Each structure stands twice: as structure tokens, then as C-alpha cells.
Amino acid sequence: MWSELGRWVFGVGKPGGALYFQCLSGERLDLRAGNEIGLALTQLRLQGLLTDIPEGVVVWSHGSASDARPEELEALSRGLGIPTSSSPRPNPTWPEPPSRLLPADVRAERLAVRGKRNRNLMIAALAVVYLGVVAYLFLDLKKTKADAAKVKSTADDKSAEASLLDRHRSKWAELRPVVETDYHPLELFLHTHKILPNTNDDRYIRFKKLTFLNQFKEIEDELRVAREIVLEGFADQENQQQIPKYAGNLKQSSDLDDFDWATQPETIDKRSGKLTFTFVGNATE
């Protein structure tokens, strides 16, 4: 990848030359840029031009303010799912073999002499070739039409499959907070409930309200999945020591280690006289 005229361009090489290159639609290296490159690689694989996904991405730098920052490289790597690194842009090299281009006036003179010498022969040869091509096309016209129709039908099928795959990937990404079973509300409720300091005979702590959020949010100019757990509960005053014990269980639980917990001191409810608490856990991916 490299920056060219204020836009980012990526290319895929093969032994002996370039296979494909494309200018990205955005001006920044971020999660969307990684998704756009991943979509292009998938299309190349569907067309049979690319057998394996590249093992890494090298972003060329110029030693200027337009170079990719480390956080941009990290965002690109997450969106693409491929390790990304930065390297100085290599210097141009002479072609092998060297070019044999001639000055315009010398080339024009040589072509004029050669054209004058071969003009009569070319006219005769073209006449023969023309007659042969007309005869061949006339005899092979029906077969050509049939082949063209078959190729068009195959291309339409492949295009429809690629379009369907693109839509499927987009919709599946939108449904990510719903289809990830590890963060379903019931699964999170089970993790928070089984670490309560209650026993089979005594229920020291009771829940009053539980809220689970799992949705996309724009965080630091990136579309990321934000998760939040809000636990509201109460306990009798003689069981006050069980509340901080439960807060410690939340922070030490291996099932909830993705969440950072904010715990506030318990308060006394004026109506019931019970101790109430609110614990909030947040996780961002």
C-alpha cells in the first residue's frame, strides 16, 4: 500500500509483475479501508486470479506527515484480519533489459522508409487476409454467437454470486451483536448470577433490575461494538459486607474479564431501609 495524490492505493503482486491494484474510496486507513481491501481480495479469489489470501500487508512510507500512523495500521489490520507493517518506499530501479526507445524524428524517418518499401506488399497481403477472414467469419458465425451467449450467461451467474456474497457479508456484520452467543443477555445473566455470595439457604443479595446492551457505536471515529452491563440490587443492612464481596467477584470472574467494572458505594433506600447498589460494566471491541 502507498499514498498517491492524497489517496491510498493497494496492489497485489505476483512473481514477475503486478496482479491487481485499486485506489481506496476513503482518505484514511481505518476499519472500513480494511473491509474494502478484504472485499477486493474475495472478488479476486472468486475470479480465480488469487488462490490464497496474502500473509501480510506492507504500507510504504515517504518520511512525511502523510505517512500512516501506528493506530491507523492497527485499525487496518483489524478490518482486514492480516498483519500490517510499515516500510520505507523502495527507490525506483532500472528496467531489465533497458528501454530501446528512439527519438521521435528518427523513429518517424525509419517508419516512413520502411512503409514506402513495404506498402505494395502489405496491400496485397491485406487483400488476401481480408478475403480469408470474411470466409472464416461467415462459416463460423453461428458457433461464435453460441459461444458468446454461453460466456455471457456464465458471467451473469458469477456476478450474481459475487453480489450475493457481498450482501451476505454486509448483513452478517450488521447482525454481529445478535449472533455472538458469548454476549447474549441470558448468557451474561448466568455469569453475573452464579458469582453471587448467596447460599442455598440464604439470599443475601437480590437483583432489582438488570440491563444488557450490545450494539454498534462510533468510538474515536471508528464503528466498534460497545457492550454494557448495569446491575441494580439491594440487601438487608445486616448483609452490608456481602455487597463489596460481590463487587470483588465481578472483577475477578474469568467469564466477565472483558468488562471493566465501576462500583459505587451502596446507599440506603428511604422507603424500605435496605442497602441498594448499582454496578456498571463496560467492554469495547
Tens digits of per-residue pLDDT, 65-112? 778 888 888 988 888 888 998 889 888 777 677 767 777 887 788 888
Closest CA to 169 of 13, 10, 36, 16: 36
Q: Are 227 and 260 in contact (CB under 8 A)?
A: no
User: Residue 156: pLDDT above 90?
Assistant: no
pLDDT (0 to 100) of residue 176: 64
Q: pLDDT (tens digit, 9 = 90+) per residue, 159-215?
A: 777 778 878 777 766 666 666 677 788 888 999 999 999 888 888 999 999 998 888
The arithmetic mean of pLDDT across residues 216-238, rounded, is: 85
Q: For the residues 33-61, what does the mean pLDDT come to?
A: 87
Q: What is the pTM (predicted TM-score) of this model?
A: 0.40
pLDDT at res. 225: 81
Q: What are phi and psi of 90, to 5 degrees?
A: -70, 150
Cell of 100: 530501446
Domains of the chain: 2-88 (3.30.420), 181-284 (3.30.70.2830)
> What pLDDT does residue 132 have?
84
pLDDT score of 11 more than 80: yes
